[in-house]
């Protein structure tokens, strides 16, 4: 009989990443051969990465696939956000915090609709594209720690969420989530997903991840191309995907 630790390891799904050759800034994230995500990477200090055009393409594709009112259902958008400070080779931030800030601003915004993810690298020198701001404002957004996250994203980057929904509160009053007494207020996204989704939330995660990959493209000392690391792309996509799946499951508990 397997020990609890061995059972957890057995259930944990391996995650793979592959470059989508047909789309320049899109990566395929495969979770245990069961879930297949398309992750678009964009943003950055100068709007690099996929650029604003990639953001526009992502929004248009999502709107085409999930039209408002389709089958009478609301479009569920899972959201998460990351700070780079806890990752290896985190980017240097030479800018000051805005008045009222208690922490370093978020560095990455993660959105997921169905299996379509957008990882947008936030930076004060490059405003969030209007098309993305409009999409977020007009969507029903699901996440963990939504009140604080929404306030900070609005304060630091001017990103407003008209209908943010806190997944902890939905899980707390859901009849489908049977877990005895659970203090949902103390659960982070991964812990909450384990309660709400069970085995579908068990993925193998590394203990330490790099924020960026470096690829040398020339002979000079500074000839490097920087982009988000493969591990970060994988697990940032998974977090937004889990938020989306929980929102879909718990949608009927929305007031």
Beta bridge partners of 77: 141
CA separation for the pair 56, 37 (Å, rounded)? 18
Residue 3 confidence (pLDDT) above 50: no
HSE-CB at 235 with a 13 A cutoff on CA atoms is 19
Q: Is residue 95 part of a domain?
A: no
Q: Is residue 245 part of a domain?
A: yes
Sheet arrangement for strand 35-43: 15-19, 26-31, 35-43, 116-121, 108-113, 76-82, 140-143, 163-166
Q: Is residue 199 part of a domain?
A: yes
Structure tokens at 212: 């960026």
Q: Which of 162, 189, 186, 211 is nearest to 79 (CA)?
A: 189
Residue 151 belongs to domain spanning: 4-90+100-253
Q: Which of 138, 170, 179 is nearest to 243 (CA)?
A: 170
CA separation for the pair 215, 213 (Å, rounded)? 7
- What is the pTM (predicted TM-score) of this model? 0.86
Q: Is residue 79 part of a domain?
A: yes
Say if CB 137 and CB 158 are below 8 A apart: no
Q: Is residue 55 part of a domain?
A: yes
Q: Is residue 46 part of a domain?
A: yes
Residue 183 confidence (pLDDT) above 50: yes
CATH number, residue 234:
3.30.420.10
pLDDT in tens, 50-104: 678 899 999 999 988 876 545 545 678 999 999 988 788 877 665 545 555 556 7
Count of domains for the chain: 1
């Amino acid at each position: 009989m397997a020990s609890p630790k061995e059972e957890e390891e057995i259930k944990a799904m391996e995650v793979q990443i592959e470059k989508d050759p047909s789309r320049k800034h899109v990566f395929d994230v495969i979770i245990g051969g069961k879930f297949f995500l398309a992750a678009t990477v964009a943003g950055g200090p100068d709007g690099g990465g996929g650029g604003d055009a990639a953001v526009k393409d992502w929004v248009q594709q999502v709107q085409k696939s999930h039209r408002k009112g389709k089958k009478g259902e609301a479009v569920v958008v899972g959201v998460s956000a990351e700070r780079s400070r806890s990752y290896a080779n985190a980017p240097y931030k030479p800018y000051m915090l805005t008045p009222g800030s208690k922490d370093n601003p978020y560095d990455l915004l993660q959105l997921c609709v169905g299996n379509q993810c957008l990882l947008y690298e936030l930076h004060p020198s490059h405003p969030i594209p209007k098309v993305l701001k409009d999409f977020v404002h007009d969507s029903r957004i699901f996440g963990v720690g939504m009140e604080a996250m929404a306030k900070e994203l609005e304060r630091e980057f001017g990103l407003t969420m008209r209908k943010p929904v806190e997944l902890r509160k939905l899980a707390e009053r859901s009849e489908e989530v049977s877990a005895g007494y659970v203090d949902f207020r103390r659960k982070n996204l991964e812990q909450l997903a384990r309660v709400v989704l069970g085995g579908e939330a068990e993925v193998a995660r590394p203990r330490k991840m790099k924020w960026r990959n470096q690829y040398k493209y020339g002979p000079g000392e500074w000839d490097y191309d920087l982009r988000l690391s493969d591990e970060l792309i994988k697990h940032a996509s998974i977090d937004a995907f889990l938020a989306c799946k929980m929102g879909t499951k718990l949608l009927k508990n929305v007031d």
